[in-house]
Chain A
Amino acid sequence: MALVEAEGVHVRFGDRVVLEEINLSVNEGELHGIMGPNGAGKTTFFNTLTGRVKPNRGRIRLDGADVAGLEPHAIARKGVARSFQIMTLFNDFTAQENVMVALPAFRARGFDMLRAVAGDSGLADEANEVLASVGLGAKSAISAKLLSYGERRALEIAVALAQRPRVLCLDEPTSGLGTDGTLRLAELIRSLKGKLTIVAVEHDMRFLFSLADRISVIHWGQVVARGTPRELQENPWVKRSNLGSFE
């Protein structure tokens, strides 16, 4: 059953059409890859899905409820978490604090002005558990700005996981990572498969084809091809395109 459905999503910035008409569905528990050339509209679609961009028309349904045009915080509260292509971690916070503010338990206390955060072992333990799940258990007290690039990528995912999402949206998660970092990230994402519904925009074809259950190819603001990685490798449009090697 589809958990996320985009139907006729159209986005324009001024007179420039960025998304012509996106129709796409993501099943519950599926890892759905989105690929396409630069400027195809992948990130804009991602931003529309997560509330940062409001569509001019069309619907985006999350578990049957229309969420198109809702504010990012409202969509996040419905269970959609995202990572960012350009990392936007809280650099003045430690890794633990980055994760802690993302926890639903912390969010529920958002307007609590009377209790101190420091010394709340419940929140700290929960944050440390999430950090351990992405291999950052030993880094919880380190300031986010002092982490390595690969660790920061992992922290991005930890922050998204801390939200206990139903849908995890990853925007170019391998961006800037070396081979080892990409392999570690692939392992991490593989470990999440089946537990979450994941939508990943990615340029690294090898990475995407090794992980995705289904892939949609966006070009000129439309989905021009879709299918399983195996089906797409045989797709004439994808073969003709210059999207990189699958091997």
Chain B
Amino acid sequence: MTGTASDARLITPTMLGAWLVLATVPLWISTIGLYPYIGVEILIWSIYALAFNLLLGTSGLPSFGHGAFFGIGAYAFGLTQFNVAANLWVALAGAMLAGALAGLLVGLFIAHRRGIYFALLTIAFGQIFWTISVKWHSVTGGEDGLLNIVRLPVNLGIASFDITDNERLYYFVLAAFAVVVVLMWRLVNSPYGRILSAIRQSEVRTAHLGYNVWAYKLSAIVISAAFSGLAGGLFAMAQRSAFPDVMNLAQSGLVVMMTLVGGGLVSFWGPVIGVIVFLIARDVIGAMTTGWMLYFGTMFVLLVLFRPEGIAGGFKLLVERWKARGTAPEALSSEPRSG
């Protein structure tokens, strides 16, 4: 048998469970001392982290300047809204398209590289885009950013919904998150996703099997950048503005940290877990001390040293041990990536 039964499904029980829990978040989030907007942030960053993990976890391509695509999506959302059409779908399509085009441009230069050279080039391109966003004042607003971005209504043809309220925005972003999860799940479990995974394990072997590794890497960069752009567009709408700081190196590092802490290298859901842990830690520990990153950074260091497969990896190990009670050790599953 190839893969698990869950891999073949378009919608898995894990997805349904996650969506169900997430749908109830606005009902109880205030009772645990958090606020509804953090739910919006978690979902947007989850889309971004899932897109990022298509490169890092699935394809083995360490992109450390990925904030550029997020930021380009944010600016594109605002600029499309101001200059093309004040329509949510057009603005989101503009954000995705701008991210994809930026990914294509960067990918053409870096898709033939791997490892540290790939990583360094992504940092360099990230810095170039960040510098442009700061300096191109007439388009991006420079350090002042792009202000007055509007939360456009969700026009479905037969009905239109206002999402200016945070709770309504949350449900719209949850719907976008659900669509992205389904698309990404299908993508990583498709022949294309398996080839990206093969490239992660051995580029040389994959090339000798007749696959144009460069074309696959380039396409993965473009797809990842497009979905990062979508996340950036949603972020600009949520914040009602777009600023250069989401493109800087430190911000690009956050998504790497979230993905690794969550366990993106071994689990599809790892990036989402990482985002939840990071943003809640930011608010909970951040409420107690301004040095919250010291604690989160320490946790990151400890995880990388002792549990590099992250939280999801640790959880999977526990489940496997639990399942293996009374079973011979060699009967343990060796499936590396499942839901």
**Which residues from chain A sit less than 8 Å from chain B, CB to CB?**
50-52, 71-73, 76-77, 81-82, 84, 88-94, 96-97, 100-102, 104, 106-107, 109-120, 123-124, 127, 141-143, 145-146, 159, 163
Contacts and interface: CB of A to CB of B under 8 A. Distances in A.
B194 A97 contact: yes
Given A71-B207, A96-B2, A114 B190 contact: yes
A52 B5 CA distance: 38
B197 interface: yes
Interface of B: 1-5, 7-9, 186-187, 189-195, 197-198, 201-202, 204-213, 216, 219, 330, 334-337
Contacts of B2: 94, 96-97, 100, 117-120, 123-124, 127
Q: Give the one of B2, B195, B330, B335 with max A CB within 10 A.
A: B2
A127 B208 CA distance: 18
Given A117-B3, A118-B3, A124-B1, A73 B204 contact: no
A76 B1 contact: no
Given A111-B219, A117-B191, A124-B2, 7 more contacts: A76-B207, A101-B209, A109-B191, A110-B211, A117-B189, A119-B2, A145-B334
A60 B249 CA distance: 47
A230 to B, nearest CB: 33
Contacts of B5: 118-119
Q: Which of B194, B204, B216 has the most CB of A within 10 A?
A: B194
B333 to A, nearest CB: 9
Contacts, number: 130
A112 B211 contact: no
A116 B8 contact: yes
14 contacts: A50-B208, A51-B208, A73-B208, A73-B209, A73-B210, A84-B205, A90-B197, A92-B201, A92-B336, A94-B2, A110-B211, A113-B186, A143-B336, A146-B330
Contacts of A145: 334
A201 to B, nearest CB: 15
A113 to B, nearest CB: 5
A143 B334 contact: yes
Contacts of B219: 111
A112 B189 contact: no
A101 B195 CA distance: 7
Contacts of A117: 2-3, 7, 189-191, 193-194
Contacts of A116: 3, 7-9, 186, 189-190
A73 B213 contact: yes
A109 B192 CA distance: 8
Contacts of A84: 204-205
A88 B190 contact: no
**7 closest pairs, A vs B, by CB?**
A143-B334, A118-B3, A76-B210, A118-B7, A119-B8, A118-B8, A92-B336
Given A73-B212, A120-B2, A141-B1, A106 B191 contact: yes
B219 to A, nearest CB: 7
A141 B209 CA distance: 21
Contacts of B208: 50-52, 72-73, 76, 81-82
A50 B195 CA distance: 20
Nearest to A102: B209
Contacts of A102: 209
A72 B204 CA distance: 9
